[in-house]
């Protein structure tokens, strides 16, 4: 089985022992992606709205580097430090994804790396 590491400078570099994404057997599995500015590696400021947009922009860039797109995402997991942010995240999420929407889970967690308010992991399909 061939595994291909996906990496792009248009999304933040991994800051630990993981990769941005892995492509295998027609699937792309992203790591949990944070709202980090790709050019600085620092978390964007401005609250949950800006963090959500940056996170989804980062996922979009990673998928495109793998030859895929947001339209090819089949499963998303959203991690939030405050479930009260769900409505805002959901509204922005709906601007990035269209029908048929991917399967999704949203989970509240006690904390995220880099003090982020949101982290998103996506699984998409692509040509092998």
CATH number at residue 8: 3.30.1330.40
Burial 9-48 (b: 16+ CB within 10 A, else e): eebbeeeeeebbbbbeeebbbbbbbbbbeeeeeebbeeeb
Q: Work out how many domains the chain is built from and give that number.
A: 1
What's the domain range around 107?
3-125
127 pLDDT band, cuts 50/70/90, is confident
| pLDDT tens readout for residues 66-121 | 999 999 999 999 999 999 999 999 999 999 999 999 999 999 999 999 999 999 99
Q: Give kind and range of the element (H or E) at residue 21.
A: strand 21-24
| pLDDT tens readout for residues 48-63 | 999 999 999 999 999 9
pLDDT reading at 128 higher than 80: no
């Amino acid at each position: 089985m061939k595994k291909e590491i996906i990496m792009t400078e248009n999304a933040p570099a991994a800051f630990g022992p993981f990769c941005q994404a892995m492509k295998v057997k027609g699937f792309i599995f992203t790591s949990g992606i944070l709202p980090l500015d790709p050019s600085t590696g620092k978390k964007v400021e401005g609250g949950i709205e800006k963090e959500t947009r940056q996170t989804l922009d980062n996922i979009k860039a990673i998928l495109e580097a793998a030859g895929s797109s947001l339209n090819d995402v089949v499963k998303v997991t959203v991690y939030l430090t405050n479930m009260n942010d769900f409505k805002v995240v959901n509204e922005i999420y709906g601007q990035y994804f269209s029908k048929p929407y991917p399967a999704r889970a949203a989970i509240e967690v006690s904390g995220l790396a880099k003090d982020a308010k949101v982290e998103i992991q996506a699984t998409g399909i692509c040509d092998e």
